């Protein structure tokens, strides 16, 4: 189902967009409340690292299995099932906490299952968008969704910090469950079959086979190979930075939960600015400088956060970090779409997501262990320097020869 109607008149897309916005708002709550809940229940940086590692491992598993699941099942039913599972799990956390006290095992289960189904939902959302939006409107539709994510994180981080400080982080996790339930209610308003696609050749093969097809394409393309390598190292640092920054603000600076939420809300402003500026930055500077420059900004900002003496300085540097992270991600995604044949888009995307996140669980666990021995400051500084060095190394790679945007090959749409 493809339509050329203006996006504001496209009911199926607008319902999907609204549902995705509420889901993203819930993600913001979890990103703040879950680490705070672990810290409240255990007081352990190692436990925070374990939870983050579980999230990374679950995301890796969804990268292997999510593509075939999305190809085989009706998109509307699949997204509703994902939200039903997630809402139940996250909604049960404050109930269990109130009735039986802290249970770290429940956090493990919530993170493992919740992350998996959330990633499957995101894959299904990507597929559903291509089925209800005309090919000439895909860029605008994706831009609206990415901008919505950034805005909901600004709002969500701020409110999550306030809720966690006032009522406790367990309630903050429960709010995520409520938002996911509301998101599912919006999806119920969509006509049946709105997001259903025809079975594809990809659905007949295993997750591993799908990954290998996409992986071979990534390995054979010299530019994408380097983009994936740099993004992988950058993602390890970015994933570990969330827990380390929360621990540093709580442990080293003695900030309350509300202040933590404010800092992350301020940081999300950089994501909004990056989403708005990414296209203009690439037109002005080309892919190489845009991507590598953004990665360098991420690395230097992260290193500076490690030694920043005040919450104001940390907030300003966090804006720079999220600005660079957003521009780097948008450019990397665009380059992958530009050079990947339409028939391989799903498989290459799944492979890229898997490769760039594969080392995150191990890296996070290692970072938490080192931070336990040396402190969060030293690890943040070291990771920032390493990420900056990797970005500079990219100047010696084939990336440096990519200075202009390529015409984007339009993806195939389902009838």
Name, in order, each residue with C-beta under 8 angstroms of 8's C-beta and a sequence gap of 6 or more: 14
> What is d(CA 187, CA 142) in angstroms, rounded to the nearest whole number?
18
Residue 56, CA atoms < 13 Å, CB-side half-sphere: 26
The phi-psi region of residue 375 (left if phi > 0; otherwise alpha if psi is between -120 and 50; otherwise beta) is left
Buried b / exposed e over 96-117, threshold 16 CB at 10 Å, is: ebeeeeeeeebbeebbbbbbbb
| CA dihedral of residues 165, 171, 174, 180 (deg, nearest 10) | -40
**Global model pTM greater than 0.75:** no
Is residue 39 packed enough to be buried (19+ CB in 10 Å), middle (13-18) or exposed (0-12)? Answer: buried
Asked if 10-146+156-196 and 205-402 have one fold, the answer is: yes
SS3 239: helix
What's the per-residue H, E or C state across 328-373? HHHHHHHHHHHHCCHHHHHHHHHHHHHHHHCCHHHHHHHHHHHHHH
Closest C-alpha among 340, 328, 342 to residue 288: 328
> What is d(CA 187, CA 366) in angstroms, rounded to the nearest whole number?
40
Whether the CB-CB separation of 173 and 29 falls below 8 Å is answered with: yes
Note the CATH architecture for domain 205-402. Answer: Up-down Bundle (1.20)
The phi-psi region of residue 41 (left if phi > 0; otherwise alpha if psi is between -120 and 50; otherwise beta) is alpha
Positions of E strands within 180-287: none
Angle ∠(299,300,306) on CA atoms, nearest 5? 95
SS3 271: helix
pLDDT tens, the chain, 415 aa long: 444 567 777 788 888 888 888 888 888 888 888 888 888 878 776 777 778 778 877 877 887 777 667 767 777 888 999 999 999 999 988 898 888 777 888 888 888 898 899 888 887 887 777 777 765 565 566 667 777 887 887 788 778 888 888 888 889 888 989 999 999 999 888 877 667 654 444 444 555 666 677 788 888 899 999 999 998 888 887 777 777 777 777 777 777 767 777 787 788 788 888 877 877 787 788 888 989 999 999 999 988 988 888 888 888 888 999 899 888 887 887 777 667 765 666 667 777 877 887 777 777 778 777 877 777 788 888 888 988 999 999 888 898 877 643 433 333 333 3
| CA dihedral of residues 244, 250, 252, 254 (deg, nearest 10) | 170
> What is d(CA 309, CA 32) in angstroms, rounded to the nearest whole number?
22
Q: Between 1.20.1250.20, 3.20.20.110, 3.40.50.720, 2.60.120.310, what CATH number should domain 10-146+156-196 receive?
A: 1.20.1250.20
Query: Which residue is associated with the tokens 């209800």?
Result: 132
Domain boundaries, the chain: 10-146+156-196, 205-402
> What is d(CA 131, CA 413) in angstroms, rounded to the nearest whole number?
6
DSSP state of 402: -
Cα 389 to the center of its chain, rounded Å: 23
């Amino acid at each position: 189902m493809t339509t050329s109607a203006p996006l504001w008149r496209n009911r199926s897309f607008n319902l999907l967009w609204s549902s995705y916005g509420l889901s993203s708002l819930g993600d913001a709550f979890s990103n703040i409340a879950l680490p705070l809940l672990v810290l409240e229940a255990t007081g352990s940086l190692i436990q925070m690292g374990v939870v983050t590692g579980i999230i990374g491992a679950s995301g890796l598993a969804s990268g292997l299995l999510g593509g075939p699941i999305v190809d085989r099942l009706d998109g509307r039913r699949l997204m509703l099932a994902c939200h039903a599972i997630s809402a139940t799990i996250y909604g049960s956390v404050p109930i269990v906490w109130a009735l039986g006290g802290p249970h770290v095992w429940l956090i493990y289960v919530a993170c493992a299952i919740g992350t998996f189904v959330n990633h499957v939902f995101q894959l299904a959302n990507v597929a559903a968008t291509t089925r209800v939006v005309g090919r000439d409107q895909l860029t605008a539709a994706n831009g609206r969704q990415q901008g919505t994510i950034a805005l909901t994180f600004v709002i969500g981080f701020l409110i999550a910090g306030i809720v966690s400080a006032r009522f406790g982080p367990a309630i903050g996790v429960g709010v995520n469950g409520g938002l996911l339930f509301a998101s599912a209610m919006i999806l119920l308003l969509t006509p049946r079959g709105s997001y259903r696609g025809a079975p594809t050749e990809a659905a007949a093969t295993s997750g591993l086979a799908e990954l290998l097809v996409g992986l071979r394409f990534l390995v054979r393309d010299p530019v994408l190979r380097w983009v994936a390598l740099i993004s992988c190292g950058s993602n390890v640092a970015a994933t570990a930075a969330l827990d380390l920054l929360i621990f540093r603000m709580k442990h080293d600076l003695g900030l309350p939960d509300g202040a933590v939420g404010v800092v992350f809300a301020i940081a999300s402003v950089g994501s909004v600015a990056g989403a708005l500026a990414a296209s203009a930055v690439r037109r002005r500077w080309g892919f190489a400088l845009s991507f590598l420059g953004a990665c360098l900004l991420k690395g230097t900002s992260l290193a500076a956060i490690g030694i920043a003496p005040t919450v104001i300085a940390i907030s300003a540097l966090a804006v720079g970090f999220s600005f660079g992270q957003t521009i780097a991600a948008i450019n990397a995604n665009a380059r992958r779409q530009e050079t990947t044949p339409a028939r391989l888009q799903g498989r290459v995307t799944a492979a890229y997501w898997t490769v760039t996140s594969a080392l995150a669980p191990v890296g996070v666990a290692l970072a938490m262990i080192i931070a336990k021995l040396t402190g969060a400051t030293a690890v943040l500084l070291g990771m920032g320097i390493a990420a900056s060095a990797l970005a500079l190394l990219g100047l010696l790679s084939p990336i440096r020869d990519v200075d202009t945007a390529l015409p984007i090959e339009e993806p195939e749409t389902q009838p």
